[in-house]
Amino acid sequence: MFEAPGVEVLDGAEGADLRPGGLQAGPMWMSAFTSPSLTGSRDVGRVWKRLYCNVGRGNDPRRSRLGRREVYGEKEGLGDNAKHPQTTMKGQPVSILTYYRLLYSLAFQFDFNVARSLLPSPDVVSVVLSSTGRVKYVLVNGVRMLTLRPTDGFFTLSIEAGEIVRRASRPPRFRVVVRGGEVARVKGSILKPIVLDIDPHLRPGDEVIVVDELDNLVGVGKLKLPPVVVKSLEKGEVVRVRALREGGVVGGSSERG
C-alpha cells in the first residue's frame, strides 16, 4: 500500500487508496468503512478526516502536501523560506515536470524561443513557493526573473528578464517604442504622447518591454490599452511601468499590477 508521510491509518483502513491523485471510489475505499472494527460513527469520522483531509480532496493533488510535492517539486525542510519567500528569496531546485510546466506556460505567453531563453535548463532554474505550495517566483542562477500572477497564471517580468526578451525577439514583437529623450521623465506610466510604435499583436494586460528608437531597453510593464486604440488616441496611459532600466523598481514593489 502507498504510505503517505504524516498520515496514520487506523485499523481496518489498510485497503484505502492513498495515491496522490486523491481517494478513488471503489471496493478498496469502501472497505475502510465496512470493516467490522469500525463500529461507531465517530470512528468512521476519524478515518475520513485522517485519510481524506490529510491526503487530498477529489482529484486535485495540489490540495495536499503529498500532492504539492508531486506537482510542484515541493520538499520538506523549507523553514522560513516557506513562510516568507518574498523576503528570503532562497529558491529550491525544480523537478523536470515543474520545469516543463513553467517552460510551456512561458511559450504560451510569449513564444518558445523567448521561453527557452528565459529558462535555458532545469539545472539553473529554481523556484520560491508561496505558503500554499504554489510557484510564486522563478529564479535563474539565483536571480529573480519571473513572478507568477495568481489572477491569471501569467508571469510578470523583472528588468533582467525584459533584457532577455528583447534579445530573443525581433522588433516590434512584445515592444512599446518610446522617444529616448523623454525616458528621464517617465515615473510610473508610459503616456501616449511619447509612444512612437507598438506591437499590433499585443492585448491589454500583456507583459511588454519598453524600448527607445535604438531598441535599448527602457523598462518593463503591463499594457493597459489595445494597440489599435493606442494609435488613435492623443493622450492617456499606455503602459503601467513596473521597473525601469536605470530607475530601479517603480513604486517600491516588483509586483505592481
Average pLDDT, the chain: 73
pLDDT reading at 88 higher than 60: no
Weakest mean pLDDT among 5-14, 166-175, 186-195: 5-14
pLDDT reading at 31 higher than 60: no
Rg of the chain in Å (alpha carbons): 24
**Distance between CA atoms of residues 164 and 175, nearest Å:** 13
Weakest mean pLDDT among 24-28, 110-114, 158-162, 234-238: 24-28
Strands, E assignment, the chain? 92-93, 125-129, 135-140, 143-148, 155-157, 175-178, 189-191, 195-198, 207-211, 217-223, 237-244, 248-249
pLDDT attached to residue 20: 43
Measured between alpha carbons, how far is residue 250 from residues 24, 149, 155, 196, 203 in Å?
Answer: 49, 18, 18, 22, 22
Q: Which domains does the chain have, with CATH numbers?
A: 1-72 (no CATH), 75-157 (3.10.450.90), 170-252 (2.30.130.10)
Range of 8-12, 18-22, 184-188, 221-225 with top mean pLDDT: 221-225
Q: Cell triple for residue 243?
A: 521597473
pLDDT attached to residue 89: 62
